[in-house]
Amino acid sequence: MIDFDFSIPTKVLFGAGKMDALMREKLPGKLALLVISSGSVVKERGYLARMENILKHQNIDYFIYDKVSSNPKKNEIMEAAQFARDNFCDFVIGLGGSSVVDSAKAIAFMARNPGDLWDYFVTGSGKGLPPKNPALPIVAIMTTAGTGSETDQWMVVTDDKIGEMIAFGVPSTFPTLSVMDIDLMMSVPPYLTAIQGFDAFFHAAEGFIAKIATPISEAFSLQILRLVNKYLPRAVANGNDAEARSNIALASMLSGMVQSTSSCTSLHAMDHGLTSNHLDLPHAAGLLMLSKSYFEFFSKYVPDRFIKMAHIIGGVTANLPEEEKPMEFVNQMVRLQKECGVDNLKMSDYGIKFEDMEQMARNAHQTMSNLFAMDRYSLSLKETVTIFEKAYK
Amino acid sequence: MIDFDFSIPTKVLFGAGKMDALMREKLPGKLALLVISSGSVVKERGYLARMENILKHQNIDYFIYDKVSSNPKKNEIMEAAQFARDNFCDFVIGLGGSSVVDSAKAIAFMARNPGDLWDYFVTGSGKGLPPKNPALPIVAIMTTAGTGSETDQWMVVTDDKIGEMIAFGVPSTFPTLSVMDIDLMMSVPPYLTAIQGFDAFFHAAEGFIAKIATPISEAFSLQILRLVNKYLPRAVANGNDAEARSNIALASMLSGMVQSTSSCTSLHAMDHGLTSNHLDLPHAAGLLMLSKSYFEFFSKYVPDRFIKMAHIIGGVTANLPEEEKPMEFVNQMVRLQKECGVDNLKMSDYGIKFEDMEQMARNAHQTMSNLFAMDRYSLSLKETVTIFEKAYK
């Protein structure tokens, strides 16, 4: 029987040029910590200057924290949270991609909670303590599309000292306000556009086969698959295709909503195992490397849902033998990866060795056991290793 | 290009028995105005006693307002709002169907705003003044499924002195918390189940053909059409079919989300024209009476969207001539109405005369012009009269 709680308390301003709406929008505080990447893109492209202009126009004071590296690190979070606390910041703005926005969430959370971030994490070596306080309000202004961080409560943070990359979220780490302005996304290069678009695709597919899927998350999932299938090849081929960019941004926003109403499955856990010790390997690239082997394995266990997804992305199963129908989803997914030029990413290109596979599978189970619990078929460690090994190139 | 603001700030607790979760859920105040219908159902079935028990358990004081008639009336709203203000209520609970929950929203709004409700309404003879204050927080506990009042900001209120039935909403009139507990809905009789289920159906279809539809509202719309088509005949045939009830409750919840992300069209405006002077005629019955004539008319103007909707509810258009394809949606809708026993509702049964049609069309344009503005084809008064006349039985 259908049973769920639904809550997506984020207001989203969506559209080309929507960043300017922040001139008039009520912001949730008077003294912001503005978090940006340590890279130069938001400065060079003028996004930072525009944001500062908006804050001045709104009479909001701010500090800038510009040390976020790709893949948020615990030590950066703790430092920035301390700074926010010491300076009485009353909200946090993330201006950037998902690393920046995830960092903003983690900083907002730790700015109002004592101790260590890992005290509150509920998997890996996290202590699972109940948070003392809700996070500071969070504003997310996205410059990339795919992770859905704009409409979910999740942050992914790595402690590289202990090799754990863990996802965490509480109701107060939903952004209060998110901006999806495709004008800020037009210059994302083709490869990043492709892998981030596939992040949305995997959120949709995992959310659809997760055992806590509901008819609401399913509606989101199917719409994402439809949009990514139709528009991602176009957005990759021509970064100036505003209609394609717009629809991929929408798929991203919906993919956060899938994660708010359903869950990722063990594919995301396995990706954490893969990337936690290879922080140069982007999250979504890791998902792509594992995807064929992963979905092939699960096609046997969730056949009806695979067939539905296959139909949405252009698969025709009417004339196939019953046992081959679910694999049509995998075939179509690989076809789409080819069209986007991301069907042949290799772990070996990142110095990863075949003999690392078992350790990665172990790490996935140890740090993200909660996602394995979302699968409709319970993967053993041995089966997980097999999926890793089949994915290895 | 895609451009919209998204905000559905309501938390929904969904599932059989979920009312009990209110024992533990944080409620948004300490002194409630508990709004119920003037009818006896919530008392006789013990829902009121359960709610009082929950409030006592949560140490929340409350007053009961039990004078809401079907179709919320302005004078009742104003009286209850004055009472809430005089007694320092800090939130409002609606326990009942959509009339009760719409009343709760209007009371919560007027409890914090001076003057008359019509001072703030933006259509009809409303003065369109900006609200001074946000509404008191609202908790909605639904005992019927279909209107979507649980997940939107809209209230429909009638001033019977001036014959205006107007829809209004502001961001603060979204419920803070809604409960969709099908255990409270199992005893809704077949006829009401059918017409309320069709309310969700029309929200979906209108939201899908409205010119502000977005891919998010479209995902909701298509899921609703799918669910109503599959489950409404079952819920009507057997009120104890919990799976069917559950899915119709879900369609209702999604239909509020369509209204939060897209809009109704002129069908709802025309229904206000029809029912504002016949308050014994339920809103959804009026929609049903007008629906065939209305969608027939619009099938010519939005053919692609009609064909998509037709496919979702079982229509097959592959072998039809191009010009007949859109009408397949209307044919399937009528087939579904037949299956639910609501294909032959007659205005004449409510004492409505053929010669009233023009006045009703005028009333629709005068009081709900904002919904006519949502149509993809702009209806003249004459065309509106024609739709009314063709619908008359």
Is residue B96 a contact partner of residue B37, using CB atoms and an 8 Å limit?
yes
Minimum Cα–Cα distance from B1: chain A residue: A243
Minimum Cα–Cα distance from B249: chain A residue: A2
Residue B179 host element (H or E): strand B177-180
Best CA proximity match to B209, nearest among B368, B387, B377: B377
| Chain A residues inside the 8 Å CB shell of B2 | 14-15, 246-247, 249-250
Minimum Cα–Cα distance from A5: chain B residue: B13
Q: Average the pLDDT over B157-184 and give the result.
A: 95
Helices (H) and strands (E) counted in chain A, each on its own, are 14, 8
* pLDDT computed for residue B279 by the predictor: 85
Q: Average the pLDDT over B225-238 and give the result.
A: 98
Residue B345 phi, psi (nearest 5): -75, 140
Which residues from A are below 8 Å from B when comparing CB atoms?
A: 1-16, 18, 214-216, 218-220, 222-223, 227, 242-243, 246-247, 249-250, 253-254
Q: What is chain A's mean pLDDT, rounded?
A: 96
- Residue A70 pLDDT > 90, yes or no? no
Query: Residue B302 and residue B317: Cα distance in Å, rounded?
Result: 16
CB contact under 8 A, A7 and B11: yes
Q: Could you give the residue ranges of the DSSP H alpha helices within chain B?
A: 41-44, 47-57, 74-86, 98-110, 190-209, 215-237, 242-261, 266-275, 283-299, 303-312, 327-339, 357-367, 369-372, 381-391
- Residue B2 pLDDT > 90, yes or no? no
Q: Average the pLDDT over B119-137 and give the result.
A: 96
* pLDDT computed for residue A279 by the predictor: 85
| Chain B residues inside the 8 Å CB shell of A231 | none
- Residue B1 pLDDT > 80, yes or no? no
Is residue B160 a contact partner of residue B279, using CB atoms and an 8 Å limit?
yes
Residue A211: DSSP 8-state: T
Q: Average the pLDDT over A20-28 and give the result.
A: 97
Instruction: Looking at the complex, report in whole angstroms how far the Cα of residue B381 sits from the nearest Cα belonging to chain A.
Output: 34
Query: Residue A287 and residue A289: Cα distance in Å, rounded?
Result: 5
Q: Average the pLDDT over B158-163 and give the result.
A: 91
Q: Among A10, A11, A14, whose Cβ lies nearest the Cβ of B2?
A: A14
Q: A277: pLDDT confidence band, cut at 50, 70 and 90? A: confident
Q: B351: pLDDT confidence band, cut at 50, 70 and 90? A: very high
- Residue A1 pLDDT > 80, yes or no? no
| Chain A residues inside the 8 Å CB shell of B5 | 11-14
Percentage above 90 pLDDT, chain A: 96
CB contact under 8 A, A13 and B5: yes
- Residue B251 pLDDT > 90, yes or no? yes
Residue B7 host element (H or E): strand B4-14
Instruction: Tell me the C-alpha to C-alpha distance, in Å, between residue B92 and each of B18, B73, B137.
Output: 19, 17, 6
* pLDDT computed for residue A309 by the predictor: 98
Q: Average the pLDDT over A155-184 and give the result.
A: 95
Q: B215: pLDDT confidence band, cut at 50, 70 and 90? A: confident
| Chain B residues inside the 8 Å CB shell of A2 | 14-15, 246-247, 249-250
Minimum Cα–Cα distance from A223: chain B residue: B219
Residue A43 host element (H or E): helix A41-44
Q: B85: pLDDT confidence band, cut at 50, 70 and 90? A: very high
Query: Residue A350 and residue B348: Cα distance in Å, rounded?
Result: 76
* pLDDT computed for residue A236 by the predictor: 98
- The length of chain A in residues reads 393
Strands B4-14 and B177-180: parallel
**Token pair in block for residue B225:** 């059409």
Q: Average the pLDDT over A318-338 and give the result.
A: 97
The rounded Cα B276 to chain-centroid distance in angstroms is 15
Query: Residue A10 and residue A18: Cα distance in Å, rounded?
Result: 16
The model's pTM is 0.93
* pLDDT computed for residue B40 by the predictor: 86
Q: B69: pLDDT confidence band, cut at 50, 70 and 90? A: confident
Q: Average the pLDDT over B313-329 and give the result.
A: 96
Q: Average the pLDDT over A154-162 and give the result.
A: 93
